[in-house]
Chains A and B, each alone.
Chain A
Amino acid sequence: MMDESKLNAEPTEALGTETSRRTFVRVAVAGMGLAYAGAIGYPIFRYLNSNVEKEAELAAIKEVTLKDAGKLPKGSILMFKFGPRPAMLIHHADDTWSAFEAVCTHMGCTVGYDAARERIACQCHGGQYDPKTGENVGGPPPRPLMKYNLVMSKGLATVTRI
């Protein structure tokens, strides 16, 4: 199989093999290291991320039904959970209704309802929202509150994500 020209070429080829062998070992060791890092890192990441994944599933819900919403007196609110997030159902003094995600768009505090001044207010940094539209009307919040679709029928509130 081996012809003369190849035999003659041996010295230079041997040198080439040496370097490529070293490179090969380096690449192989680095590759194995990466494989181990991945095999160890991936389960650890997924383990630590377990609840995040579970809550992401929860957060994917589209609709929440509130049974006793009809009993809510005028001028008061009901706090409930839309998936993992706090939400607020408001029964206005004029007998209209609205529902918002109760998370301030500024720094994520849960907002409250100030019945006397008819405002949704955040205690953390003094953010103010209009309780009918969710519009940010005072303080630092950059955006209006996230508003839900709301259907009231026979005392049953059906809240859906827009």
Chain B
Amino acid sequence: MAKVSTYIVERLGLQDTLQYASQKAVPQHKHSFWYFWGGISLFSFLIQVVTGILLMVYYRPGPEAHESVRQITYQMNFGWLIRSTHNWAASIFIVSIFVHMFSVYFMKAYRKPREFLWLSGVVLLLLGLTFGFSGYLLPMDMLSYFATKVGLEIPKSLPFIGPAVADILRGGIDVTEFTVQRFFALHTVILPMVFIPFLLAHLWMVQKHGNSLPESEEAKPETDRKSIPFFPNFLMQDLAMWLIALNVIALLAAMFPWQLGEPADPLKPAPVGIHPEWYFMSPFQTLKLIGKLIPGAAGEVIGMSVFTLGMVLWILIPFYDVKSKGAQRAKRATYFGLLALFILVGTSAWGYLGVQ
């Protein structure tokens, strides 16, 4: 057995990697818990890759989209479970990305030398949301039809190029089977092709720079800091978290199986209480509130501008909240983060209360 493993390691040229892995350590402190959330995002992404491929076995984009999802959900053995797992893993994926992002933000882990880790993370989040948006249409029921219709109003409000962008995404002037077809291509080919290189770069940089220490921990002398070996100790903890995530997703999928609504019908009015998926609730509600404060086209423009400005400030945080410039700036960044978190949670909750 040992001989075989030595043989394989030598032939694959893995000695250096294994040497590196055996020395890799993960800091242990009272905030260590947050280190798991990137891994949970990765795991729920992997679940979606597997269940997504399985769904593709029976899913037919285009005019038969709704019928094929109906077959998957109500006819194929365990099809409901596969579909439900795909959808619940998507939610857990976005939740864990948000937790990961805010923990990185508040621990100031985006600072030198990890600026690109932050940026690639933001790209992965945006791609993740696009995954959600494009996947939501694929069953082509009433909810997904209107969600996509409304969602595509946002690119439409871009100056000058907006309407053309929306038409290209839709593949027509309304959401039809052609939209389903191209959203399917987007969801299963284009997005993975863009997502995976960013993911690999993100993981590569994590290996290169190691785990970032929170400020409280960095203040301690090096001898007082504790760490555990990555292999096997942290890996085992990581896998244990994955197992918990798997169980949570399986429970959610089995106890709250995803349903399928009536087939999309452009002649029917939008159903009462229609609202986007929870991860789009905050921008949905924020735009609605700004629209109420400043009615008309002006409100829309101001809403979108404020929104874009906030996003740009958020994305560029590693470049103006730098280490050497004293505590004042760092505090401001923290307040900005708290404000962002408050708006995100607050508007989402408000949105849901408003719906009911």
A48 touching B75 in the complex, CB below 8 Å, given contacts A43-B81, A43-B82: no
B229 within 8 A of A: no
Q: Provide the main secondary structure of the chain B interface.
A: loop
Contact with A along B50-74 (1 / 0, CB 8 A): 0000100110000000000000000
Interface string of A123-139 (1 = CB under 8 A from B): 00000000000000000
**Of all chain B residues, which has the CB nearest A42?**
B78
The answer to whether B76 and A50 touch across the interface, beta carbons within 8 angstroms, is yes
Does A44 sit at the interface, judged by CB under 8 A? yes
Chain A residues whose C-beta falls within 8 Å of the C-beta of B57 in the assembled complex: 47-48
* CA gap between A105 and B30 in the complex, in Å: 71
Instruction: Give the chain B neighbours of A43 by CB distance below 8 A.
Output: 77-78, 81-82
Interface status of A12 (Cβ within 8 A of chain B): no
Closest B residue by C-beta to A53 = B77
On chain B, the residues within 8 Å of A8 by CB distance are: none
B contact residues around A49 at 8 Å (CB): 77
* Nearest neighbor of A49 in chain B, beta-carbon distance: B77
Chain B, residues 66-109, CB within 8 Å of chain A (1/0): the string is: 00000000011111011000000000000000000000000000
Interface size on A, residues (CB 8 A): 9
Interface members, chain A 20-61 (any B CB < 8 Å):
36, 43-44, 46-50, 53
Q: Give the number of chain B interface residues (Cβ < 8 Å).
A: 11
Per-residue interface assignment for chain A, residues 50 to 76, with 1 indicating a CB less than 8 Å from any chain B CB and 0 otherwise: 100100000000000000000000000
Point out the residues of chain B lying under 8 angstroms from A48, CB to CB: 54, 57
The reply to whether B82 and A47 form a contact with Cβ atoms under 8 Å apart is yes
Q: Give the residue name and chain of the A residue nearest to B58 (CB).
A: A50
The answer to whether A50 and B54 touch across the interface, beta carbons within 8 angstroms, is: no
State the CA gap A49–B77 with chains docked (Å): 8
A43 to B84, CA, bound (A): 13
| Cβ contact within 8 Å between A50 and B82 | no
* Chain B residue at minimum C-beta to C-beta distance from A47: B78
Closest to B51 in A: A44
Nearest CB of A to B127, in Å: 27
Q: Is the CB of B75 within 8 A of A44?
A: no
* B75:A47 contact, CB within 8 angstroms: no
Q: Which residues of chain B have C-beta atoms less than 8 A from A44's C-beta? A: 54, 78, 82
Least CB distance from B271 to A in Å reads: 30
Residue from the list B58, B77, B246 in contact with A46, Cβ < 8 A = B77
State in angstroms the CA–CA spacing of A47 and B82 once bound together: 8
Q: Nearest chain B CB to A122's CB is how many angstroms away? A: 31
Interface string of B177-192 (1 = CB under 8 A from A): 0000000000000000
User: What is the chain A residue whose CB lies nearest that of B77?
Assistant: A46
Give the distance in Å from the alpha carbon of A121 to the alpha carbon of B81 in the complex. 46
Q: A54 to chain B: closest CB distance in Å?
A: 8
Complex Cα spacing A101 to B79, Å = 33
Bound together, the chains give a CA A53 to CA B76 distance in angstroms of 10
Min Cβ gap A110→B in Å is 25
Q: Smallest Cβ distance from A124 to chain B, in angstroms?
A: 28
Rounded to whole Å, the gap between the CB of A73 and the closest CB of chain B is 38
Tell me how far the C-beta of B39 lies from the nearest C-beta in chain A, rounded to whole angstroms: 18
Contacts of B58 in A (CB 8 A): 50
23 pairs from A and B in contact (CB 8 Å cutoff): A36-B246, A43-B78, A43-B81, A43-B82, A44-B54, A44-B78, A44-B82, A46-B77, A46-B78, A47-B54, A47-B57, A47-B76, A47-B77, A47-B78, A47-B81, A47-B82, A48-B57, A49-B77, A50-B58, A50-B75, A50-B77, A50-B79, A53-B77
Interface, chain B (partner A; CB < 8 A): 54, 57-58, 75-79, 81-82, 246
The 3 lowest CB-CB distance pairs between A and B, nearest first, are A43-B78, A46-B77, A50-B76
Given A43-B78, A47-B79, A49-B77: 17 more A-B contacts, CB < 8 Å: A36-B246, A43-B77, A44-B54, A44-B78, A46-B77, A46-B78, A47-B57, A47-B77, A47-B78, A47-B81, A47-B82, A48-B54, A50-B75, A50-B76, A50-B77, A50-B79, A53-B77
Residues of A with Cβ closer than 8 Å to B?
Answer: 36, 43-44, 46-50, 53
